[in-house]
Amino acid sequence: MTHPRNRIDDMIHSPVRLSVMSALRAADQVHFALLRDTLEVSDSLLSKHIATLEAVGYVEVTKGYAGKRPRTWFSLTSRGKQAFDTYLATLREIVEETTPSP
């Protein structure tokens, strides 16, 4: 039997990507500026991590306009939702397995 830590999804495990996934799991769609400000990261750092999550199929990027202003929205794909839920279950398993009983 292998320790659950071996099943941790490295694509999510980075602190910024974990924060992105968590924020997107809580909403249908989040626009770039709101996500950037919520996570307190720079434009370039957010873009880098979104590109990584998009490349593995966890995040969908939608570009459009709000009025005449260009906007970019992010949402989790079904694969991203499943990956995030599995990630959380794995963390719970690690915590429950290693927490000593009274």
- Which CATH number belongs to the domain containing residue 37 in this structure? 1.10.10.10
At residue 70, the 3 state secondary structure works out as strand
Report the chain's C-alpha Rg in angstroms: 16
Residue 77 lies in a domain: yes
Range of the domain at 71: 16-92
Predicted confidence (pLDDT) per residue in 1-51, tens digit: 688 888 899 999 999 999 999 999 999 999 999 999 999 999 999 999 999
Per-residue model confidence as pLDDT tens digits over 72-91:
999 999 999 999 999 999 99
Distance CA 46, CA 1 (A): 37
Of residues 74, 90, 95, the one with CA closest to residue 19: 74
Number of domains the chain is built from: 1
9 assigned to some structural domain: no
